[in-house]
Structure 1
Amino acid sequence: MPEDPIRVCLLTADETLPAWAAAAVEELVAETAAEVTLVVEDATTTERSAGDAARRLVELREWGVVAAGIELFGDELPAERSVPIRSIEGVADADWVTCEPDTVDGWKHRLPERAVDRMADADVAVRFGFGFLVGDALTAPEEGVLSFHHGDFREYRGQPMGFWEYVHGRDEAGVTLQRINETLDGGEVVTSRRVDVADAATWGEVRQRLFDASEGMLADGVRRLAREDVEPETLAADELGDLYTHPRGRPVLTYLGKTARGVLLG
């Protein structure tokens, strides 16, 4: 990767980024030789019908009710506030491409050739959208595509972020910046951090701390890739932690009880 400048492509879900991601990009531009030269935006428009929403609620069972309540009545975390991408320092002059990815195997996304061709002009891409990527987009930039995982691959994979660490009463949680490939959580660890969550009273506090810890990791990761003496770490399959998904049954009750105690004591 050239040291001056480092051409960065952002892969985004729309014309905004959550505040934590916007802060990470601003720090990247401010503290390294990086320049955001391209934004590739997902132009897919999906509208879920009332029937789809009802079926999804049934699939999630008791967690669907809890998640709906959080969405309707919970406070938005500062880190999740939407920030217009064009307002981010260092991004206003970037070229902009919109595209709709092709769906592969029912859930993976492959970017169209015209987007991949533009990405080849970048040194590295950062994924903030498009879901699980496959295909030539992953290798079009010289240094590949970076993606955040708010968890430690060695312990917790899957979703929801930070939920299981909170329910299990862990003292720490992790954040990982990974160079992704076509395998689930099988990419290379560029940089990672441990985050103290021992005294976090609510799941929201856990998530906020993980987002806060993410902000400086993008600049650190790009600096590491620029150094010839630093190699990203590849984890073997037996080093990966359990894969979690949306909770059901007892974990939901544990979450509700712990949240109630956290709110009352907080």
Structure 2
Amino acid sequence: MKNIIRRDPQTFTALSATDWSASVPCIQCQAQPAEQIGVTIPSDVVKTIAKTCDVVVHYRVGILQGDILSRPQYGVLSFHHGDIRRYRGTPAGLWEFLHDAPQGGVTLQQLTPKLDAGSIVAFESVDLTDAHTWAAVRQRLFCVSPIVLARGIQHLQDSSFEPVSVPDEDLGTLYYLSDVTLRVQARYLLKEIKGVMARSDASPNGTAEDALAYAVGQYALGEVSIDKAAELANVDQWTMLEILQRATISSQFNPETVADIRQEVGVSWDLSDEYVTQYEDTNVPDDDQ
């Protein structure tokens, strides 16, 4: 399950697939590990960028450190799909989803060596009140990104504009993947199931992804066998077994913990004896539980 959260699936279009990219100069380089955290850009590439660009936009290179942050006139702009005054770190949108946040946001920041603590160049608030799944939350955040970038560039062209510096005491909580504990994974799974089934197109009339989420959830809650889960997801039994093993379903979620979290997120089904037996039959060390 943590690997599913770590992947944070998104849809991208390669720059090489765009019509205008053929006429744009391209410099390829290998980012180098920084001394403590993140990566640096080779000095010769930084010099070239500083001579030819007044602003840099950062996309999925890693946590940038070094001269690249200060050499361009307006620095390096980067999206954070969250309000850095509330949520920092990763994964995007997960914590807003888990905390039932009614509002999210997209921050365009001037990067600094400190993670998600840059000056705000543009910000757009996003309504999440009826975003019932993590995918829906992410989709809303990603959709406004182009607007935020365009607004940020306009701001930088205004000589009277000053990016908003956020004091350390006003920065939001910094989340890491290590914060995605088993309890968090269980809460995510159950809340996602509830969200999928609350949608008008929920299984069996929804998408293949919805059907799979529904089937995994039903199995995790002890409502169906592996055979029935496979039937609900329209996959064979071996594929379903592999999916459940990858998601660590039935081997790491303590039934009592799942029951507690299920009440928190409003899922009311009872755990079956079959699920409890599956948990008790596994040889999981106490620390892993």
Q: TM-score, normalised by structure 1?
A: 0.69
Matching of residue 171 in structure 1 with residue 110 in structure 2: no
2:160 to 210, 224, 229: 229
Matching of residue 114 in structure 1 with residue 47 in structure 2: no
1:158 to 64, 89, 95: 89
Shift of 1:128: 0.3
Which residue pairs with 1:81 in the alignment?
Answer: 11
Alpha-carbon RMSD across the aligned residues, in angstroms, is 1.8
Structure 2: runs of 5 or more not aligned: 200-289
Structure 1: runs of 5 or more not aligned: 1-61
Q: Indicate how the Cα distance of structure 1 residues 154 and 67 shifts in structure 2: closer, same or farther if over 3 A, else same.
A: closer
Shift of 1:206: 0.4
Q: Identity across aligned pairs (percent)?
A: 36
Instruction: Give the letter aligned to residue 144 of structure 1.
Output: G
Which residue pairs with 2:192 in the alignment?
Answer: 259
Instruction: Give the letter aligned to residue 131 of structure 1.
Output: G
Q: Distance in 2 between matches of 1:89 and 1:139?
A: 31
The answer on whether the counterparts of 2:84 and 2:117 sit within 8 Å (CA) in structure 1 is no
1:217 to 138, 148, 169: 148
**Aligned counterparts, 1:135-154, within 5 A:** 135-154=66-85
Instruction: Give the letter aligned to residue 128 of structure 2.
Output: V
Which residue pairs with 1:245 in the alignment?
Answer: 176
Q: Distance in 2 between matches of 1:170 and 1:81?
A: 24
1:196 to 127, 145, 151: 127
**Partner secondary structure for residue 82 of structure 1:** coil
The answer on whether the counterparts of 2:89 and 2:115 sit within 8 Å (CA) in structure 1 is no
**Partner secondary structure for residue 142 of structure 2:** helix
Cα distance per residue 1:52-110 (max 9 Å; x no partner) = xxxxxxxxxx523x548x78xxxx6xxx3332313335433111111112211253211
Q: TM-score, normalised by structure 2?
A: 0.64
Instruction: Give the letter aligned to residue 163 of structure 1.
Output: L
Q: Indicate how the Cα distance of structure 1 residues 129 and 262 shifts in structure 2: closer, same or farther if over 3 A, else same.
A: closer
* Higher RCO by CA contacts (8 Å cutoff, separation 6 or greater): 1
Q: Distance in 2 between matches of 1:94 and 1:128?
A: 17
Largest Rg, 1 or 2: 2
Q: Which has the higher helix share?
A: 2
Shift of 1:145: 0.7
Q: Which has the higher strand share?
A: 1
Q: How many residues align?
A: 196
Which residue pairs with 1:30 in the alignment?
Answer: none
Which residue pairs with 1:100 in the alignment?
Answer: 30
Q: Distance in 2 between matches of 1:249 and 1:85?
A: 37
Q: Distance in 2 between matches of 1:191 and 1:89?
A: 27
Which residue pairs with 1:183 in the alignment?
Answer: 114
Cα distance per residue 1:4-47 (max 9 Å; x no partner) = xxxxxxxxxxxxxxxxxxxxxxxxxxxxxxxxxxxxxxxxxxxx
Which residue pairs with 1:40 in the alignment?
Answer: none
Q: Distance in 2 between matches of 1:184 and 1:83?
A: 26
**Partner secondary structure for residue 99 of structure 1:** coil
